Amino acid sequence: MINTSILKLEISKNRSKKSGLPAGSLIHIGHKKVKETNISLIDYGKDSHTEQTIKRISQCFPYKDDRTITWINIDGLHDVRIMEELGTCFGFHPLTLEDVLNTDQRPKLEDFGDYIYIVLKMIELDKNTGEISIEQVSIIFGKNFLVSFQEQPLDIYIPLRNRLRDSKSAIRKEGSDFLAYQLIDLIVDNYFKVLEYIGERIEKIENKLVLNPTQKTLKAIHGLKREMLFIRKSVWPLREVISNMERGHFLLIKKPTGLYIRDIYDHTIQIIDTVEIYRDMLSGMVEIYLSSMSNKLNEIMKVLTIFASIFIPITFIASMFGMNFKYMPELDWRWSYPAVWAVMIGIGVFLILYFKRKKWF
Amino acid sequence: MINTSILKLEISKNRSKKSGLPAGSLIHIGHKKVKETNISLIDYGKDSHTEQTIKRISQCFPYKDDRTITWINIDGLHDVRIMEELGTCFGFHPLTLEDVLNTDQRPKLEDFGDYIYIVLKMIELDKNTGEISIEQVSIIFGKNFLVSFQEQPLDIYIPLRNRLRDSKSAIRKEGSDFLAYQLIDLIVDNYFKVLEYIGERIEKIENKLVLNPTQKTLKAIHGLKREMLFIRKSVWPLREVISNMERGHFLLIKKPTGLYIRDIYDHTIQIIDTVEIYRDMLSGMVEIYLSSMSNKLNEIMKVLTIFASIFIPITFIASMFGMNFKYMPELDWRWSYPAVWAVMIGIGVFLILYFKRKKWF
Amino acid sequence: MINTSILKLEISKNRSKKSGLPAGSLIHIGHKKVKETNISLIDYGKDSHTEQTIKRISQCFPYKDDRTITWINIDGLHDVRIMEELGTCFGFHPLTLEDVLNTDQRPKLEDFGDYIYIVLKMIELDKNTGEISIEQVSIIFGKNFLVSFQEQPLDIYIPLRNRLRDSKSAIRKEGSDFLAYQLIDLIVDNYFKVLEYIGERIEKIENKLVLNPTQKTLKAIHGLKREMLFIRKSVWPLREVISNMERGHFLLIKKPTGLYIRDIYDHTIQIIDTVEIYRDMLSGMVEIYLSSMSNKLNEIMKVLTIFASIFIPITFIASMFGMNFKYMPELDWRWSYPAVWAVMIGIGVFLILYFKRKKWF
Amino acid sequence: MINTSILKLEISKNRSKKSGLPAGSLIHIGHKKVKETNISLIDYGKDSHTEQTIKRISQCFPYKDDRTITWINIDGLHDVRIMEELGTCFGFHPLTLEDVLNTDQRPKLEDFGDYIYIVLKMIELDKNTGEISIEQVSIIFGKNFLVSFQEQPLDIYIPLRNRLRDSKSAIRKEGSDFLAYQLIDLIVDNYFKVLEYIGERIEKIENKLVLNPTQKTLKAIHGLKREMLFIRKSVWPLREVISNMERGHFLLIKKPTGLYIRDIYDHTIQIIDTVEIYRDMLSGMVEIYLSSMSNKLNEIMKVLTIFASIFIPITFIASMFGMNFKYMPELDWRWSYPAVWAVMIGIGVFLILYFKRKKWF
Amino acid sequence: MINTSILKLEISKNRSKKSGLPAGSLIHIGHKKVKETNISLIDYGKDSHTEQTIKRISQCFPYKDDRTITWINIDGLHDVRIMEELGTCFGFHPLTLEDVLNTDQRPKLEDFGDYIYIVLKMIELDKNTGEISIEQVSIIFGKNFLVSFQEQPLDIYIPLRNRLRDSKSAIRKEGSDFLAYQLIDLIVDNYFKVLEYIGERIEKIENKLVLNPTQKTLKAIHGLKREMLFIRKSVWPLREVISNMERGHFLLIKKPTGLYIRDIYDHTIQIIDTVEIYRDMLSGMVEIYLSSMSNKLNEIMKVLTIFASIFIPITFIASMFGMNFKYMPELDWRWSYPAVWAVMIGIGVFLILYFKRKKWF
């Protein structure tokens, strides 16, 4: 089932923390998902590769101005001091830092000349509980650096890190825009995994719908419908961001990288198509559910009507001859009793045939 | 529950007051929410700050032409005379004043060269009753002044006033466009608070929907749906207004302020997204309600059918042997009575098993 | 209730009259709502004002070429001869005259250089019957004249005529484009009155929906829904017309008038918004109606089920002991009868508690 | 009811005939509605008028290059040879001829420089059966000729032919573009007739809906809904075609004709509006139908519940005293019997009052 | 019924294979539908025609640079080595090859200067099972070559191959763009065949809907609805592709071919129209199904109510006189028994007439 806290997470109390404060104030609006902020630094070029975990931003300074690409990855956003240092060091606009700390952003791309700031939403799936949650990823990249921010470490970066270690890997020869492309690609690919999982769940629910639909089935359908709402909400602006990257003539994105970005763009379109198809399918499933409800009611009513319609008339006959009138000549006749039986069976058979012809059973 | 008078307030009798009058006639179309019109004046600059409540417009004149920013805030619109004086003093177009007095406006932005006129709708939430109401805020700002109008004092201005008093505050260094941005930001932020509250109400209703849905629950859902209609009606044109401010090349809005306005623009998009998601969720809730209605009906009918189907046949048997025919040999048999009991219990058990296999209980 | 003839009026037999005739043939397609065509003429300028009812078009000639504004108002369109004279006198295009006579037009604006031709739909409300009907108003205005056509006299013109008599009135100083603006403003304002009335009716129906919804309530809702369809059909093209007037660079519409027209444009947007909100509200009311139907059914079924489920079993017990078997030892026992009573009451109480726990009553 | 073969006609077997053939192959895809292809020729100018039925295309040649307008009308498309001759004579592109023969086209306009090719759909109504069918009309016109094609003779051309015979008629002075306008006008006018007829049918069904809705009524509604789908499918592209003619700067369409075409454009918009309104009305009627179904069910259940709830309890009482226990002291009391009657009547009256208060009858 | 694996096929496990790999890696994502990759080569020109099945890509080299058109058709995509050779030989971009191998593409067109790459979806219908499946077709064409890829041999190419063998065929004189047009035309035509088949199925289901709708009928309707979703998903981007080909000024597509492509464009529009109409029809059928469900329920309830309402009251009367009170004077009256019969028949007749007047049967 969907993490019901998504709703709250999306528009809830977090906002209030900030209201009334001047614009540009650095406050972390989100969840403190890790105890300590972890900063890892990878510096690579055609022929070099350094990887280290650092404690203070100042450790990044030596890598800042060399010609190799520096990728600083920050897990945990609650340490405002680190953000400030980073901002001063790389010359980020206060609004950029404010947006990084506010995990309540809509995916967007902003070009500040020296660097491009991208906000994305990653969808994470907890395979055990089936819950999905949304993690905001901020990417800032300039000529030869890229800084990525999220509230907790992401597994999807692992294969990328391995590839960076491999000196034969194509990525080692490319610039920071290609690294940004790689990160976005990983995040977009992750949507497919979640949709795949949801597709399986839809199929399971569909089977239940055929066998024995209950109120719970309906709620599961509505749970998935709601998940679709949230995925859609994060993937539509994502499409815009990537479309912008493809068409927009940003100096920081080189022409050949554009070709690769067009590829991710196609993927986002496919995600959107799939989400829409799932939504239509789920609506159809609600329809089937409702109709199977009324179908069941019809079945129940048929049973009742058949029983009642057969036994009520013949019970009436029986009670007729249970009357205590003195002058009821039939009572004394020899064949009355069997005759009554015959009449009753006749009525019963007639009604059963009647209902059979009506295709009631 | 929604203030049911919103509907009337929006398009109702107020209008009629004016019909037939020549254009440009100053008449207050709205509610007289305060007894007296209160005018407060704040004049501030990098190094100066004056704050005073004034009685007559003429008291503003000295501040009008100095280089510091003058913010005149007017609570209460029913005093037409004050409006006229103000209009003459600052040179407002008659149509502007007419629109300020008519609280029945759609959010819009109009550039008159010397000043920009902005109409916004603020959504107010009465925490006690849960009612929301809509308050129209008009903002007129020129090179070094800003006049804001509403029918009653707004609490959301308080933190802003405090910030203005603080000489270290960034806002003291900025122009009137930045002050306008601050006011709009406060109003937009307020939407989030209301949506947050509505989000909580949706969750509460959802819980009721699971436990024991009643006709009242449905009405609550429809009440929220209607609130969404009204919020949507005021936020869509708001988005246009802000988008205009961002893109439009207004001389009175400086470049750096544009960056901040882009920020509010993102917020309005998020409000719209949230409203749409809420609407979809509420529609889903109606579906669940209706299906739980028919579910309940099925439950009721099952109970009836089980009772009727079991007892009607065996009652028939009993009434058979209540008949008074003379020649009913079974009546005299020794084991007839226990046999009848056995048959009845047999029928009962059989039917119970039958319904059990049909998963009726 | 809606004038059910609207439907017919809109697309019906009228058309057929004309089919097969060459384009430009003058035929009145509509209703002859008044016996005689009434022509009134008002000629006004800054310092002069003449008002008279005329019988023949030739009486207008003297006013045609003077510099004062001449407003000719024609009520009743069935006198084709008058139209022809008018057309020749003012030099109207045959297609213009044809369109004036055909009350089956979509609101539109056509610029013929010498004059602008505007078709509008006015919505009239019969307060007694609650019926609304649609009246087509055609306005043709040139440099110093304006001709308005409708099938019957309109009350909404009265205040305008009074204002024209007043030499201090602003309108006396303006041109024919301002007069056209005034007429359109009156017609648009009238929409608000009708919507106001419909708003009240919606509220009344809503109350009925809460208290005791009947099939009639549903039909009333659908009647209003249909009225909304017709209002929408006439207000959408109206919006286009006015938007055209505002943006279009028509020589005959002066710049300052444009500002006023922007005002009417805002009003049409508001009308459209209101119509859409009403439509959404009415759809919600249908939903509530349907759900209260199924709610009622549930109530009915509960009553039936409670009665049947309690009495059917105990009636069975009673009929058991009504059997006439010889060997029924219980019949002779002293406490059988009270015991049976006890068992029956026990069953009844148990079932009542059972239904109570199920929250059936 | 709708010609159920429309569906098949639209997308069915016809297509398959052609699949696999090279483009440009002339094959008639449609119905052979007349035995023989009829070709009629009208040649007219300001002062001349010739009308004749011809057997071979070569008979047209003398008229081809004179300055008078030549209108060749062809009823029946199955004679491919005639088409080939015609194509060679007038220099039509092979794709044009292919499209003429394929009655499975979407309305469109194609400008080939020397001539303009227009495909339209005419809706025909069989007044006896109420069936509507769709007839494809192709119009090709060049500088001084026009060729029109359809599968069977159309009555709507008759008044036009008469007008052409009249030497005073305006059309005699105009070019081939005006003749094309006239044909399109006739076809568009025909839509109104069909809509008028459908409007009447909607009204009839609506009356039935009020009096005694049956499953048949619903099917009639859905039949009309489907007709609307087909009319909409042919009128939307028609609108595009006519809009193209109006705005597009085609050399073959003269400026003054453009004014008349704008008129037809308005008509198509009105047709579309009407179709949309009808669709909305029909949807509303389905809603009313469904609600009246559940209303009826409620009525039925009320009857059942009232009967059952009154008689089941009192029958129980009666069967109590039908028990054969020895010790039932009431049986011997003098006033037992009347007392039982009194109790029963009491229960009955109480329940009737109870149901009355619940407004069940 | 629809191939339920479409869903999985579309977005499922296949993707996962690739996630984490660097872009440009050649991996076949799809189904290995044939054992061995079959490559056929047709080289043709105005006067020459060669056809052969080849084993190795190197066999193509001699044909590559001559001036005749070379069509290489590849069935089966799992042999990555062949793809690599081909790519090197013709100079395809790595992303192109990657996309060819990934059968999970959205239809698209990409211009790489030297060649144009088109992805299409073909819909295949298994006439025996009624299942539809989707086959991805990739077409790459340059100045004088065209390569087509699919996972299994397609029958629709057979007539085209025959036509190429015929030296008089028009296609022999045209370039590779015309061959591409022919392939796309075949694929688009195939959509019509599938829609034709679905149209027939809709009709069959409609008949069942009239005679005896069951839950199975509803599921069949939803199956078709879902097929429509998938067809729509592949035909909308197809439309874009073809629209691009028509308008886009690609050097590789000659002007006269553009005319033919406009023809296919019309076809895709028609397919979309038909899909939309089918969707609307299927929705209407769901409505009819649901209403016939509630209709049936009403029928059932009428039967029950008529039986119960007639027999319950008269059974009550019978049980009255089955009571054993001592003092029941009626019991001893001579005409009591026939009187009771008369009363009962009277009640029965009255109720039957009552229900008849209510039109219950």
Question: Lowest-pLDDT range, B118-127, C4-13, D30-39?
Answer: C4-13
pLDDT single digits (tens) B218-238? 888 988 998 898 898 889 999
Query: Which amino acid would we find at residue D314?
Result: I
What gap in Å lies between CA C255 and CA D336, rounded to an integer? 99
Size of interface C-D (CB pairs under 8 A): 151
pLDDT at A343 over 90: yes
| Better pLDDT: A47 or C117 | C117
**Residue C294: CB atoms within 10 Å:** 17
Would you call B331 an interface residue with chain A, using a CB distance cutoff of 8 Å? no
In one-letter notation, the amino acid at residue B46 is: K
- Which residues 37-96 of chain C have a CB within 8 Å of chain B? none
Tokens of C35: 């016996």
Per-residue pLDDT band for B111 (boundaries 50, 70, 90) equals confident
A191 vs E22, more confident: A191
Q: Residue D343's pLDDT is what? A: 94
Per-residue confidence band for B319, with pLDDT thresholds at 50, 70 and 90: very high
Angle between helices B255-320 and B176-211 (to 10 degrees): 10
Which amino acid appears at position C95 of this protein? L
Residue/partner pairs of B168-172 with CB below 8 Å, 24 or more apart: B169/A22, B170/A22, B170/A24, B171/A22, B172/B44, B172/B45, B172/B46, B172/B49
Q: What pLDDT was estimated at residue D168? A: 84
Closest C-alpha among D104, D106, D123, D95 to residue D31: D104
Q: Taking the alpha carbons of C143, C145, C150, C153 in that order, is the dihedral positive or negative?
A: positive
Mean pLDDT across chain D, nearest whole number? 85
Q: For residue B1, is pLDDT > 70?
A: no
The residue type at C339: A
- The CA distance from B271 to the nearest CA of chain A, in Å, is 9
Task: State the Cα–Cα distance between residues E224 and E207, nearest whole angstrom.
Answer: 15
Can you tell me the distance from the alpha carbon of E297 to that of B295, in angstroms, rounded to the nearest whole number? 15
Question: D357 pairs with which residues across the strands?
Answer: none
Number of A to B CB contacts under 8 A, please give it.
Answer: 149
Asked if residues B228 and B278 have their Cβ atoms less than 8 Å apart, the reply is yes
Q: Answer whether C158 touches D (CB < 8 Å).
A: no
Among B178, B324, B332, B360, pick the best mutation site for testing chain A contact (most A Cβ within 10 A): B324
Higher pLDDT, A310 or D22: A310
Which of A318-327, B51-60, B155-164, C280-289 has the weakest average pLDDT?
B51-60
Write out chain E residues lying below 8 Å of A307, CB-based: none
Q: Which pLDDT value is given to residue E313?
A: 93
* Residue A8: partners with Cβ closer than 8 Å, 6 or more residues away: B199
Predicted confidence at residue B31, as pLDDT, reads: 74
For D179-223, the pLDDT digits (tens) are 999 999 999 989 998 998 899 899 999 888 877 788 888 888 988
Query: Which parts of chain C fold into alpha helices (H)?
Result: 5-11, 14-18, 61-64, 80-90, 94-101, 158-165, 176-211, 215-247, 255-320, 336-357
Give the amino acid at E323.
Answer: M
Task: Count Cβ atoms below 10 Å from residue E216 Cβ, excluding itself.
Answer: 10
With an 8 Å Cβ cutoff, is E294 touching chain D? yes
What mean pLDDT value characterizes chain E? 85
* D295 vs C contacts (CB less than 8 Å): 215, 293
Distance CA B105, CA B358 (A): 61
CB contact under 8 A, A170 and E8: no
A52-71 pLDDT per residue, tens = 898 888 887 778 777 889 99
User: For residues B130 and B122, what is the distance between their CA atoms, to the nearest angstrom?
Assistant: 16
Chain B contact partners (≥3 CB pairs within 8 A) = A, C
Local confidence band at E18 (pLDDT 50, 70, 90 cut-offs): low
All residues of chain C having their beta carbon less than 8 Å from the beta carbon of residue B11 are: 192, 195-196, 199, 270, 274
CB contact under 8 A, E322 and A326: no
Rounded to 5°, the CA angle B266-B272-B273 comes to: 90
Best mutation target among A294, A305, A321, A352 (most E Cβ atoms within 10 Å) is A305
Q: Domains in chain A and their CATH numbers?
A: 4-291 (3.30.460.20), 321-357 (no CATH)
pLDDT surpasses 80 at E144 = yes
Output the pLDDT for position D294.
Answer: 86
Q: What is the pLDDT of residue A166?
A: 86
Provide the shortest C-alpha distance from residue C58 to chain B (in Å): 32
Residues C326-349: pLDDT tens digits?
888 888 888 999 999 999 999 999
Paired with C355 in beta bridges are none
Using CA coordinates, name the residue in chain B closest to C179: B22
CA distance E321 to E337: 10
User: Measured between alpha carbons, how far is C101 from C105 in angstroms, rounded to an integer?
Assistant: 9
Are D195 and C105 inside 8 Å of each other by CB? no
Q: Is the pLDDT of residue D323 over 80?
A: yes
Identity of residue B19: S
pLDDT surpasses 90 at D351: yes
- Contact partners of A by the rule of 3+ C-beta pairs under 8 A? B, E
Task: Decide if B226 and C281 are in contact by the 8 Å CB cutoff.
Answer: yes
CB neighbours (10 Å) of residue C175? 19
Of B16, B301, B307, the CB nearest to C312: B307
Q: Which one of A186, A319, A360 has the shortest CB-CB distance to E322?
A: A319
Q: Which residue on chain D is closest to C16 by alpha carbon?
A: D193
Chain D touched by C314 (CB under 8 Å): yes
Q: What are phi and psi of D72, to 5 degrees?
A: -105, 125
Query: pLDDT tens digit string along E84-136?
Result: 888 888 888 888 888 888 888 889 998 888 899 999 999 888 777 777 888 99
Our measurement of the distance from residue A319's CA atom to the centroid of its chain's CA atoms, rounded to an integer in Å, reads: 65
Q: In the prediction, which pLDDT does E12 show?
A: 43
CA atoms within a 13 Å half-sphere pointing along the CA-CB vector of D191 = 28
Distance of alpha carbon D73 from alpha carbon D40, whole angstroms: 5
Q: Within an 8 Å CB–CB cutoff, is residue E128 touching chain A?
A: no
Confidence (pLDDT) at D22: 66
pLDDT (tens digit, 9 = 90+) per residue, B162-219? 889 988 888 888 889 999 999 999 999 899 889 988 998 998 998 888 777 888 888 8
- CB-CB neighbors (< 8 A) of A7 in chain B: 199, 202-203
Considering CB atoms only, which of D170, D203, D324 is closest to C331? D324
Please tell me whether residue B325 adopts helix, strand or coil conformation: coil
Q: How far is CA C309 from CA C30, C352, C355, E314, in A?
A: 65, 10, 10, 20
Chains adjacent to C (≥3 CB pairs closer than 8 angstroms): B, D
Is the predicted pLDDT of residue C198 greater than 80, yes or no? yes
DSSP A43-77: EE-SS-EEEEEESSGGGGHHHHTSSSEEEEEEE--
Residue A116 CB neighbour total at 10 angstroms: 24
B309 in contact with chain A, both atoms CB, cutoff 8 A: yes
In this structure, of B350-354, D179-183, E208-212, the range with the lowest mean pLDDT score is E208-212
pLDDT at A12 over 50: no
Residue D302 touches chain E, beta carbons under 8 Å: no
> Under DSSP, is residue A28 helix (H, G, I), strand (E, B) or coil?
coil
- The radius of gyration of chain A's CA atoms, rounded to the nearest angstrom, is 34
Pairing state of beta strands D145-150 and D69-75? parallel
Partners of residue B319 in chain A, C-beta under 8 Å: 315, 318-319, 322
- ipTM of predicted complex: 0.78
Q: Which residue of E has its CA nearest to D312?
A: E312
Model confidence at B282, pLDDT cuts 50, 70, 90, reads very high
The answer, for C243 touching chain B at a CB cutoff of 8 Å, is no
Nearest to D170 among C22, C318, C332 (CB): C22
**Chain C contacts of D315, Cβ < 8 Å?**
311, 315
Closest chain C residue to D314 measured between Cα atoms?
C311
Task: Return mean pLDDT, chain A.
Answer: 85
Q: Which one is predicted more confidently, B31 or D263? A: D263
Question: Is A168 within 8 Å of chain E by CB?
Answer: no
**What would the mean pLDDT of B289-318 be, rounded to a whole number?**
91
> With helix as H, strand as E and coil as C, how does A231-282 read?
HHHHHHHHHHHHHHHHHCCCCCCCHHHHHHHHHHHHHHHHHHHHHHHHHHHH
b/e burial code for range A184-205 (CB count within 10 A of at least 16 → b): bbbbbbbbbbbbbebbebbeeb
Considering only the beta carbons, identify the residue of A215, A307, A318 that sits closest to B308. A307
H/E stretch holding C139: strand C131-141
CA A67, A73, A77, A80: dihedral to nearest 10 degrees?
-30
Closest residue of chain E to D331, computed from CA coordinates: E325
- Reported as a pLDDT band with limits 50, 70 and 90, residue E13 is very low
Report how far residue A301's alpha carbon sits from residue C297's, in angstroms, rounded to the nearest whole number. 14
Mean pLDDT of A114-127: 89
Q: Is the pLDDT score of C1 beyond 50?
A: no
Q: Do D222 and E323 touch (CB under 8 A)?
A: no
Nearest chain D residue to E323, by CA: D322
DSSP C68: S
Task: Residue A260: list chain E partners with CB under 8 A.
Answer: 23, 95
CA torsion sign for B288, B290, B291, B292 is positive
Interface contact B273-A319, CB threshold 8 A: no
Q: How confident is the model at residue B132, as a pLDDT? A: 82
Q: Is E233 on the interface with A (CB under 8 A)?
A: yes
Residue C305 and residue B300 in contact, taking contact as beta carbons nearer than 8 Å: yes
Which has the minimum average pLDDT: A168-177, B32-41, D326-335?
B32-41
Q: Answer whether residue C12 shows pLDDT above 50.
A: no
Rounded-to-integer distance, Cα B63 and Cα B74, Å: 16
CA end-to-end distance (rounded Å), chain D: 39
pLDDT tens digit string along B5-24? 344 434 444 555 555 566 66
**This prediction's pTM:** 0.82
| Closest in D262, D308, D319 to C307, CB measured | D308
CB burial of residue A18 (10 Å; 0-12, 13-18, 19+) = middle
- Tracing tokens 């004179």 back to the chain, one arrives at D66
User: What single-letter amino acid sits at E103?
Assistant: T
Tens of pLDDT, residues E53-77:
988 888 887 787 778 899 999 998 8
Minimum-distance CB partner of C297 among D277, D287, D297: D297
Per the document, the length of chain E is 361
Tell whether D130 lies on the interface with C, counting CB pairs under 8 A: no
**E308, A312: Cβ pair inside 8 Å?**
yes
pLDDT tens per residue across span C75-133: 988 888 888 888 888 888 888 888 888 888 889 998 888 899 999 999 888 777 777 88
| C171 close contact with D: CB closer than 8 A | no
Distances (CA, A) of C153 to B104, C36, C124, C136, C145: 30, 11, 12, 12, 20
Inform me whether the C-beta atom of residue B216 falls under 8 Å from chain C C-beta atoms.
no
C-alpha span between C159 and C139 (Å, rounded): 18
Q: Which residue has the tokens 């990657």?
A: E98
DSSP secondary structure code for residue A175 in this structure? -
Closest residue in E to A315 (Cα–Cα): E315
Nearest to C332 among D295, D312, D326 (CB): D326
Task: Say yes or no: E353 contacts chain A, CB-CB below 8 A.
Answer: no
CB-based contact, C332 to chain D, within 8 Å:
yes
Say if D329 is an interface residue toward chain E (CB within 8 Å): no
How would you class A95 by CB atoms within 10 Å of its CB: exposed for 0-12, middle for 13-18, buried for 19 or more?
Answer: middle
Q: What is the pLDDT of residues C130-188, one digit of tens each?
A: 778 889 999 999 988 999 999 888 888 888 998 899 888 888 888 899 999 999 999 99
DSSP code per residue over D6-41: HHHHHHSTHHHHHTTSPTT----BS---SSS-EEEE
Q: Residue C52 and residue D349: Cα distance in Å, rounded?
A: 75
Q: Which of B151, B7, B185, B187 lies closest to B78, judged by CA?
A: B151
Alpha helices (H) along D169-254: 176-211, 215-247
What is each CA distance from A168 to A49, E87, E284, in whole angstroms?
A: 12, 22, 60
Lowest mean pLDDT among A330-339, C2-11, D253-262, E278-287: C2-11
